[in-house]
Structure 1
Amino acid sequence: MSIDSVPEMIDEFRQAAGRFASGVTVVTTRNGEHVYGVTATSFVSLSLNPLLVTVSINTASAILPDIDESGILAVNVLAREQEEVSRYFSTRGRGRSRERFEGIAAHVESTGAPIIDGALSWFDCRVHTTLEGGDHVILVGEVVAAGGSSGEPLLYWSGGYRELGRNDDPSGGDDGIEQFADALSVQLHMHGMTPADLLDAQYAVEPAAAALAARACTDELVAELQSLIDEAAEHHDDAERYNPVALEFHSRIGSMSGNAAIAASVRALSRPRYEVYSSQTNAERASRSTRKHQEIADAIRDHDEDRARALMLEHLGTIARGIA
């Protein structure tokens, strides 16, 4: 019986696989003047003679052509304090850079593939074998150099990041809400959302989030929001760099609302937002969105709830007309 004919089995498979705790790695390569990195959890050591490791990458990942051309890769096992590194490389459009990763310190050892500073361990490899595995490609790397440092690993389990010895109740506290929202965001992305569905959801929660953020904001939170705006403004002509930062603006407002349900709802839309909006980006639209983001941030800073709500509604209306 084909699994394609039993959709519920796919959901059961995902739930079962999600109960397997794994370490978190970033697979990197260098191809000419470009470096590329992507987060992966399906890594295992394979052989001592010869020294081999394997990691599985989705066939749709843009890193695969670069690995195929360069013939090199490095697997970086992340330490528990490197959750933000994992999020950076799991955000679509952020992994490929010229010469170096923006904001991520790295160095080279033997092959030239980037080794991320602070990684718990790393394996510098030449490609030994490439195997097809359904919707993934299994990369077998022959290790030419390896190393690491002391510390504890970053773990991934049941849709969220974990640490050894931590109380991992996914339903409790702000960390639990964020982990739930991220897991739901992945599911929404995998199952697909139409632009109309996405906009309906945004209209339902984001104006309220903006108003609550204006009520609850602090100088520190406003500074974080302003930092996102300033970073986005530097990349109007580079959609790959602009989109992740600009779209994080919306999730950050949800977090600033102080309401766990609204924060989770807004963050859960993060991947569908990227999927729908990234293909619509050009320099003119990016510049226009940044100006509107600035107006919204100014209203939040001034604790003007009505204006923050109205400006977010106006911004979503502009987005809707652009998509139409």
Structure 2
Amino acid sequence: MSDLASSVPSPDDPADPRGRSADASGHDPLAEVIADLTDLAEVAGLVDQATPLDDSEPTAHTIAALLNSPTTAPAELADAVAWCYDDAALPLLLPLAHHDDPRVRRAVAQALPSVLGESPPDETVRALLALSADEDPDVRDWACFALGTQLSEVDSPVVRDALAARLDDPHDDTRCEALLGLARRRDERALPVLHERLSRDNVYSLEIDAAGALGHSSLHTLVRGHLAGWDDDVVARVCAALRLTDPDGVGDDLLDGLAEWFRTGAPHATDEDRYWWTVTLQVLEHAEYRAPEIAEQVHDRLAGSEPSTTLMLASRLAQLAGDHGWPRWSPSY
């Protein structure tokens, strides 16, 4: 999720056992939820009350059993939380944002976007806002990634301000994730920071991503100065940022190639014919708001070819463009 650790890490190995905390009244805020889930699991014969589940993919029942066991170590709980994708676990995970152990808090920041499901995002966002200012840098990193990128459709002044507060964070990944999150929201505070960062000899790939997401033409020359020296898996992202900051647009080669792809029967063309579609997806990864511009220019190039135009209007590109106000797209396609 970041420049220095793009894979999803597991929390650390088990350490000291932890106790579950109660609020000032002595009431455990998790107790009722845990009890309900445990009762349901017992009725279904899924869990023994004294023995936590050992599932390959942890569920809400797994988390409840671990929380219900006095012998659960923080690292064991953190590992289960980090790899949980069960929407039913959300009410269990939210209170753990205040857990004493940073490994558990980090796992919560990692997992919350994955268990949000169809629930309103308010409580999840509040938890992540708090975690974005955590004393532990890895917790801040994951929280800024969650707020900035995974939940980038959630946009409000308080979210933007929380990300802006991390622009000078001493932790490199946290700082970069916050910058990317602001850029994805096209917040003007990202521009002077990007000018300063990209003027350096060495930059992080997330800073290049942020330049592409913001798409300001004043960044084009700066991005061009950092085309070399990247690993193969980053090159496409750098090229996408170069296109997104180009004052002349994303490039006729891309638009012509994408139009030709639709003429050849996309999306049923061979993998070799998908090159320009792959480039387009990379361009839209951090700048989905450019979809109407790309869709309109491709549509113009397909004028006179009804089958190709129909195919294009039914494509994912047209749907993304429609999500951003492109009037030609209709859900009926």
Q: Which has the higher strand share?
A: 1
Larger Rg, first or second structure (1 or 2):
2
Q: Which structure has more helix as a fraction of its residues?
A: 2
Question: Structures share a fold, TM > 0.5?
Answer: no
TM-score (norm 2): 0.26
Alignment TM-score, normalising by the size of structure 1: 0.27
